[in-house]
Structures are given as structure tokens and as C-alpha cells.
């Protein structure tokens, strides 16, 4: 069988499974998700052993520390996966939900019902936990899913796929509802992206290069997340110790995450008090700060001068750009120019400025006095996420089960005809 035929076979099976899953009772889908949570706990040593194979191979290939961190399934990551399954299973079923029902002047009742998207294709790099997150969210929303992870995580993804298949069988659902593409050849992705007859939407999750390549090749709609250039603006009315702590968390808790802060903008009236404190703490944490000319004298001796290309950069590392600004106007202009519509935060005690920032700044999550790291499906109450969409169609921000559905109009008549 050729690669083209093999990928078409995967897509055809997914299409058939999608219809069965969409018609299945919500209890059956929840049973599969709960069964998976149990299997992840029972088979954790098997999962860790397969993940170690990927980690050993990745180290031999010279993968950088950021990618190794994303690749590793630690006990904490596994527990997060298990908890995500339980939270998603405990959520209300979005499929079949009627959003509204209104009576038209002719007496017909018109409403909108939530329905599955159909077949979702997920393309992602490194993070094998995405295999579980994507699978359970798609199942919850009545979809089938084709998962194509990076070659660096092949052993981990195949191991997780075997547990997903068992969980589906326990719930009397088709095993083809979740399929992991075991072919590591990149041409497999190209073949799948041609199959819009069977695949309804593709969600790429990874580096900007991967996402742009998918957008160029896909014959079906693409839900995009290009990169996470996240900013924190420190207003003149910010609390200094609390603000330093938030920035430390946003930069150092998981620097390789897309929701880690990459640039801090500081009001000129607080800079002389704030930046020395920030510089001391972040230098101790191993962060390299790249400062503008006004920030450099205040950040400490280890800061380096920022260059033009440092603004708008997604570092995914212990590197932070720092700029002093004249006020909120300049901060918001900077974000509009260099941001990526991902996560933007203001730190301030001034309510009016906070509300203006929330209203005017365009990003999938805009917040006040909190870390950018909260832009995450689990943290925002979705249980898990299949990705963070930085485009507004058809979803904006972290995508949970509800975001993996669409709506259709439903009409309830009493034998009316159109005049």
C-alpha cells in the first residue's frame, strides 16, 4: 500500500468513526475518558519507559533543553493528564445543547444546536501529553481525531494511543475514533492535508514554521496559533513586590511554554524603583535581560543592550526583553505592533487603566494583576486544551470541548409554508 493510500485509509476510518461517536450517548464518551484516566494511572511505568526511549534518542540527536523539557512525561505531567481527563469527563456535554430558541412571527420556533466538527486532525511537536488532551477533548465534543505528533515523541505517542484504543473499546466506541499516525515521514502530513473530503479541520500546534507550512498546504480550514509573544505592562500604580513576583513566575516557571512572558514594558515613573528589584530577582534566576537604553542602567551589570530584533521575539528560554515606556498609550502601541494576539497583562492598582487595557488590547487572553501563565485550558476551567487559537475564526484563545463544536440551526414548525 502506498503512503497516499495508507493516509486515505486513516482518514476514511476517522470519517466513519466520527459519525458513530457523534451519535453515541454522552455517557459512553465520558466512560471512555474515565477509562483512559484509570489506564494512565495503571500503566504509568509503561508510559515512563516508552517516554525514556524518546528522551534518550532526542539527547543523542542533540535536541535543545527547551524541546527536551516539552518532550518529557514527568510524574507531574502524567498527573496533570489524569486530572485533565477527570475534569473533562465531569463537564456538561456540549453536543446537542440548544443555545437559544425563539418564536418567529409565523409561529415557527428557531434555535441553534451545538454539533461536533466531525474529523479533527491535530499536528503537533514534542509534547506527548497533547495526544491525551486532544483525544479526550475531541471525544467529549463528539469528534474523531487523527493525531500526528513529532518523530521525537513516536514511542510515547504510540504507547498512549494503545491506551486510548483500550479505553474506547471499554466504552463500546470505535477504536478508530482516535488514531495516531505512526509514519514519521513528513510526506504523510502532506498527504493528509489533501483530504478535505474526509477531514473537517486541522489544528497545528508547534513552531511558527510548522504552522505556516500547514496553512500553505491544507485544503481544509486551519485553526492557527503562530507564536506566543506575551507582554506584561507595569503601570506606575503597580505594587512593586507583587509585580516582580508575577514576572518571575511568568518568565521562569516554564520558560519554554507559549504563555511565558517575553517582554516587560515599564512606566517611566516607576522604572527607577521597579527595575533594580526586577533585575536582582531575575538575574538570580538565571534570566538574561535585554534592556532598552533607559532600562539598561537600572537592570544591573549582567543586562545586555536590546537590539531591534529583540522586540517581538518568542524566546522560549530564560531571556526577557525590557523596555521603559512613557505611559499606557506607548505600551499598548508596542503590544499592537509586536504582540502575537496570545496573552497580555497589565499590573496596576488603577481600575480605570485596567479596564481600558482589557477593552482595547487585542489578544486571546487579556488580564490584570496575574501571570501570563494562566492562559491555559486547565487553568481557565476547560479541563484541558487542544491548543490556543490566536486567530478569531472559529475560536479565540484556549480551545476546550465546547470550542471543538459548531452550531446548526434547528427549526420546529407546525405545518407552516412560506408565503
Beta strand 98-103 with 109-116 is antiparallel
Residue 59, pLDDT score = 93
Could you tell me the strand order of the sheet in which 201-205 lies?
Answer: 178-180, 144-148, 119-124, 201-205
Confidence of residue 1 (pLDDT cuts 50, 70, 90): confident
pLDDT average, residue stretch 88-103: 93
Residues β-bridged to residue 411 = 110
User: What does pLDDT average to over the chain?
Assistant: 94
* CATH code of the domain occupying 230-374: 3.40.309.10
Which of these ranges, 118-122, 153-157, 172-176, 225-229, has the smallest mean pLDDT?
A: 225-229
Residue 339, pLDDT score = 96
Sequence ranges of the chain with CATH classification 3.40.309.10 = 230-374
Burial zone of 23 (CB within 10 Å; 0-12 exposed, 13-18 middle, 19+ buried): exposed
**Angle at alpha carbon of residue 156, lines to 24 and 37, rounded to 5°:** 40
pLDDT for 226 beyond 80: no
Residue 395, pLDDT score = 86
φ, ψ of residue 100 to 5 degrees: the values are -160, 155
Given the C-alpha cell 503537533, which residue does it identify?
A: 124
pLDDT for 101 beyond 80: yes
Give SS3 for 159.
helix
**Tens-digit pLDDT profile for residues 56-70:** 999 999 988 878 888
**Angle at alpha carbon of residue 343, lines to 254 and 74, rounded to 5°:** 25
Distance of alpha carbon 224 from alpha carbon 246, whole angstroms: 28
pLDDT for 381 beyond 90: no
**Tens-digit pLDDT profile for residues 294-350:** 999 999 999 999 999 999 999 999 999 999 999 999 999 999 999 999 999 999 999
Residue 322, pLDDT score = 98
Residue 384, pLDDT score = 79
Residue 98, pLDDT score = 93
pTM of the model: 0.86
Distance of CA 128 to the CA centre of its chain: 13
**Tens-digit pLDDT profile for residues 246-280:** 999 999 999 988 999 999 999 999 999 999 999 99
| Domain 3-223+399-412 CATH superfamily | Aldehyde Dehydrogenase; Chain A, domain 1 (3.40.605.10)
H or E stretch at 200: none
Percent of the chain at pLDDT above 70? 100
Distance of alpha carbon 235 from alpha carbon 355, whole angstroms: 13
In this structure, the number of other CB atoms found within 10 A of the CB of residue 24 comes to 20
Sequence ranges of the chain with CATH classification 3.40.605.10 = 3-223+399-412
Distance of alpha carbon 198 from alpha carbon 175, whole angstroms: 17
In this structure, the number of other CB atoms found within 10 A of the CB of residue 210 comes to 17
Q: Tabulate helix, strand, coil % of the chain (nearest 5).
A: 45, 20, 35
Whether 276 contacts 189, CB under 8 Å: no
pLDDT for 92 beyond 90: yes
H or E stretch at 140: helix 129-140
Amino acid at each position: 500500500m502506498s503512503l497516499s493510500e495508507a493516509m486515505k485509509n486513516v482518514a476514511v476510518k476517522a470519517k466513519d468513526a466520527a459519525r458513530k461517536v457523534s451519535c453515541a450517548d454522552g455517557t459512553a464518551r465520558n466512560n471512555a475518558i474515565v477509562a483512559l484516566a484509570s489506564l494512565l494511572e495503571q500503566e504509568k511505568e509503561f508510559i515512563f519507559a516508552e517516554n525514556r526511549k524518546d528522551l534518550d534518542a532526542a539527547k543523542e540527536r542533540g535536541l535543545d533543553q527547551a524541546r527536551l523539557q516539552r518532550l518529557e512525561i514527568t510524574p507531574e505531567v502524567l498527573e496533570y493528564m489524569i486530572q485533565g481527563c477527570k475534569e473533562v469527563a465531569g463537564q456538561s456535554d456540549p453536543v446537542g445543547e440548544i443555545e437559544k430558541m425563539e418564536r418567529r412571527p409565523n409561529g415557527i420556533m428557531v434555535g441553534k444546536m451545538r454539533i461536533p466538527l466531525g474529523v479533527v486532525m491535530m499536528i503537533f511537536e514534542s509534547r506527548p501529553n497533547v495526544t491525551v488532551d486532544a483525544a479526550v477533548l475531541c471525544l467529549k465534543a463528539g469528534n474523531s481525531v487523527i493525531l500526528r505528533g513529532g518523530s521525537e515523541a513516536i514511542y510515547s505517542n504510540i504507547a498512549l494511543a494503545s491506551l486510548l484504543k483500550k479505553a474506547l473499546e471499554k466504552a463500546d466506541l470505535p477504536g478508530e475514533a482516535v488514531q495516531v499516525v505512526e509514519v514519521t515521514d513528513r510526506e504523510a502530513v502532506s498527504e493528509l492535508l489533501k483530504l478535505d473530503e474526509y477531514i473537517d479541520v486541522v489544528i497545528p500546534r508547534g513552531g511558527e514554521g510548522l504552522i505556516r507550512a500547514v496553512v500553505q498546504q491544507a485544503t481544509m480550514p486551519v485553526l492557527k496559533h503562530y507564536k506566543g509573544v506575551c507582554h506584561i505592562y507595569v503601570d506606575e500604580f503597580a505594587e512593586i513586590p507583587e509585580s516582580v513576583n508575577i514576572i518571575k513566575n511568568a518568565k521562569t516557571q516554564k520558560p519554554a511554554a507559549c504563555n511565558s512572558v517575553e517582554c516587560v514594558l515599564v512606566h517611566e515613573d516607576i522604572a527607577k524603583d521597579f527595575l533594580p528589584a526586577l533585575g536582582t530577582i531575575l538575574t538570580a534566576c538565571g534570566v538574561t535581560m535585554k534592556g532598552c537604553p533607559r532600562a539598561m542602567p537600572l537592570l544591573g551589570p549582567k543586562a545586555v543592550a536590546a537590539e531591534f530584533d529583540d522586540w517581538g521575539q518568542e524566546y522560549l528560554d530564560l531571556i526577557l526583553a525590557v523596555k521603559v515606556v512613557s505611559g499606557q498609550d506607548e505600551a499598548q502601541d508596542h503590544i499592537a505592533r509586536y504582540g502575537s494576539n496570545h496573552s497580555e497583562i497589565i499590573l496596576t492598582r488603577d481600575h480605570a487603566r485596567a479596564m481600558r487595557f482589557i477593552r482595547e488590547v487585542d489578544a486571546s487572553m487579556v488580564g490584570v494583576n496575574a501571570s501570563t501563565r494562566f492562559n491555559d485550558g486547565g487553568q481557565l476551567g476547560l479541563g484541558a486544551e487542544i491548543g490556543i487559537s490566536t486567530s478569531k475564526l472559529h475560536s479565540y484563545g484556549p480551545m476546550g470541548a465546547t470550542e471543538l463544536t459548531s452550531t446548526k440551526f434547528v427549526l420546529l414548525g407546525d405545518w407552516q409554508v412560506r408565503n
